[in-house]
Structures are given as C-alpha cells and as structure tokens.
Amino acid sequence: MKNCYEVHCKGGHVGTAYYFPMTLFIEADSKKEAAQIARYTPRVKHDHKDCILCVSQISREELLAGRRRNRADGYYCSKSKRDMLYKCPDYMERIVPETRRNPRETEETTLPLSFRNRKKYENRYLQPLNGENRWGEL
C-alpha cells in the first residue's frame, strides 16, 4: 500500500535568483521515492541539488484536500510563463530569494581560460573608460 506525502520544493519560472515555494502531494512507497517523483515534476527546479526542502507523511484526506488547492492555484495549472502571469497575478508576493549562490553570478569578472594577449584583454575590456571613448577623446 502506498503512503501519502507532502513534499515542499523549489518551483521555477520566476527567475534564477528566486524560487516559488511549491507543495506537492504525492503517493509513494517511501519518502525517498516521493522526493524523486517531486524532483522531476514540471515547474520544479530539478537541476538544483537542494530543490527538495522537506518531505512529510500525511493522511489521505490531507492529500486530497491539498491536490484540490493546487488545482485551484494558477501557478500549478499554468503551462507557460505568460499563462502564469495571467492566471497568477500575485506571484511576485509569493516568490522567495534563492539561498544558494549561482556560480555564474560572481562579483569578480572571470577571464576565459586561454586567449592570446591577456594584458590587452584586461586593458580594453575590463577597465572602465573614465568618460573617454576608445581612442582617448572626450
């Protein structure tokens, strides 16, 4: 017999620096299987290691009530970003800033691994122009 689980996970399609806290109601044999099913559900940030926030066992009545709530919510039933904006206009109040740091968004500019003239690259593209154009004229 399958058990009922409530899985809290990070939902996507709201930007890389944010996530939508999703609650999925899943029937599975174990918590591990419920987390695996939730990870590959549409709209979940499944490429994140920490996309599953918590898994807890619930009763059958809570599972059915939760699924009804999710069907009424515009975020869960939308098929695209545009559809989500139409069905869920209050999604901006419900999103949460991402806790993990994206390695692509570093404060320091990273240089390519190999290029011909490193000094020329740093001088031309990484240093500010200080109000002058490329040839030193104002």
| Sequential DSSP letters for 74-127 | HHHH-SSHHHHHHH-TTHHHH-EE-SSPPTTS-SSPPPPS--S-HHHHIIIIIS
Query: Which amino acid belongs to residue 49?
Result: K
pLDDT digits (tens, 9 = 90+) for 11-33: 988 888 899 999 999 999 999 99
Take residue 123 and report the two structure tokens written for it.
């001088």
* pLDDT(97) > 70: yes
**pTM score, two decimals?**
0.69
Q: Which residues contact 34 (CB under 8 A, 6 or more apart)?
A: 5, 7, 26, 28, 55
pLDDT digits (tens, 9 = 90+) for 47-77: 888 999 999 999 999 999 999 999 999 888 8
